[in-house]
Amino acid sequence: MPMATLLIPNRFITKLPAPRHSHWRFTCSSVTTQSRSAKDHLLALIADQDRGLRTQSDPARLADIVEAIDTMAAVGAGSVTTDDSLSATWRLLWTTEKELLLVIEKSPLFRTRAGDVLQAIDVRNRTLNKVIKFPPDGVFLVRSSIEVASPQRVNCR
């Protein structure tokens, strides 16, 4: 099974408010009842999964989540999700990325806990920064580049 990524909006992540002093624009789009229902179903499935940590030991829940993701993909077929509207700071809600889950899970070994996990995406400059916050002042940052592979997919390096 392929790894679920964090790069597709409204599937695993939600948009955060813009930082102070930055221009924030909203993209208006119509949301169908079907897409709202599919999104709500997916959010309900991941709500108690501790960003994916609990899903690792629950194959049935993982199958349900993957099915909900496939439904979201079908509902959004034909839409463009890799344009400038992807450029923002996003908060992780759920993932299967093992390295990221390992950092979150093992943070108590360093007498801390993982706070917000964010991705700052800039499509025009082709950058992706993953940020894991460790309160009160710690941060783990991974810088990478992205390449738009299709209207609904970006690849990371």
Task: Output the pLDDT for position 49.
Answer: 96
When pLDDT is cut at 50, 70 and 90, the band that residue 6 belongs to is very low
Task: Output the pLDDT for position 35.
Answer: 81
- The strand pair at 153-156 and 88-92 is best described as unpaired
DSSP classification of residue 123: T
CA distance 57 to 55: 5
Average pLDDT of the residues in 53-77: 94
Closest CA to 81 of 19, 156, 149: 149
How is residue 72 written in tokens? Answer: 């979201």
Task: Output the pLDDT for position 5.
Answer: 36
CA distance 155 to 153: 7
Average pLDDT of the residues in 98-102: 94
pLDDT digits (tens, 9 = 90+) for 70-80: 998 888 888 99
When pLDDT is cut at 50, 70 and 90, the band that residue 29 belongs to is very low
**Mean pLDDT of all residues in the chain?**
82
How is residue 99 written in tokens? Answer: 């390295």
How is residue 130 written in tokens? Answer: 């993953």
Average pLDDT of the residues in 108-116: 92
H or E segment and range at residue 100 = helix 98-106
Average pLDDT of the residues in 3-16: 40
